[in-house]
Homo-oligomer: A and B are copies of this chain.
Amino acid sequence: MKNLFASIKIEINKNLYVKDPESSALGKKIVEHSILLIHEMGFEHFTFKKLGAKINSNESSVYRYFENKHKLLLYLTSWYWGWKEYQLVFATANIENPKKKLETGIQVLTRSVERDSFISHIDEVILNKVVINEYSKSFLSKEVDKENKEGFFAVYNRLAIRLKQMILAVDSSYPFPSSLASTIMEGTLHQHFLKEHFSSLTECNDKILPSQFFIHLVSSTLNLPK
């Protein structure tokens, strides 16, 4: 799977970076280690100074790639959702049956990322954990409307719309396709978080996956056409 995607470059809004981190070794190192460092210490404690030290570089050099850590987070999460989008499109292409297609789509969006010998500098397993812990912080801000207008959440929005379409393909009369799609996407991050930190608030664990919960939920709420 990975090999197929190894050469694909995920498109990210150009206003999220000052200089494209994919354009240099240092840029890639910044992206690679920012994921690891945010995962290690949490977004609040993460600083460009600490990142510079970690990669034997300099705070000022990091600033040459990203305006601030908020934009870096938006960059990382855009990359993640873009990567998920590829997986979604790929995994659901050529599936004719709408129900099967939707289930496969939910499967892709809700599964936790499995370790995989990775080729690129980005560790998707860790990035997935970063998204679970930090994604909400990227939009729960006073700047959200301005940033949304600038297209900083475009990839996520597009993914949610794709899921909505798959829902409508199964049941075109379902009255809440957008809300269901966004509930699945946000809800799966939340369930993954709960199983790590609030295990009494979820049935999900090593055996029971968020996928099962959401597929059960969606199957029962949608009316299948005869």
Q: Is the interface on chain A under 10, 10 to 19, 20 to 34, or 35 or more residues? A: 35 or more
Q: Which of B142, B178, B203 contacts A45 (CB 8 A)?
A: B142
Q: Does B213 lie within 8 Å of A194, measured CB to CB?
A: no
Known contacts A191-B182, A204-B179; A197/B45 CB under 8 A: no
Q: Does B191 lie within 8 Å of A179, measured CB to CB?
A: yes
Could you say which residues of chain B place their CB within 8 Å of the CB of A145?
197
- Please report the C-alpha to C-alpha distance between residue A201 and residue B181 in the assembled complex, in whole angstroms: 8
- Please report the C-alpha to C-alpha distance between residue A144 and residue B212 in the assembled complex, in whole angstroms: 26
Q: Does B157 lie within 8 Å of A182, measured CB to CB?
A: no
Count of chain copies? 2
Name the distance in Å between A198's Cβ and chain B's nearest Cβ. Answer: 7
Q: Which of B44, B175, B178, B204 contacts A216 (CB 8 A)?
A: B175
Name the distance in Å between A159's Cβ and chain B's nearest Cβ. Answer: 10
Could you say which residues of chain B place their CB within 8 Å of the CB of A42?
141-142
Known contacts A133-B140, A213-B179, A220-B220; A190/B186 CB under 8 A: yes
A sample of 4 more A-B contacts (CB under 8 A), given A179-B202, A183-B190, A220-B220, is A44-B141, A136-B140, A175-B203, A182-B202
Seen from chain A, the residues whose Cβ lies within 8 Å of a Cβ on chain B are 41-42, 44-45, 133-134, 136-137, 139-142, 144-145, 148, 153, 157, 160-161, 175-183, 186-187, 190-191, 193-194, 197-198, 200-204, 208, 210, 212-213, 216-217, 220-221
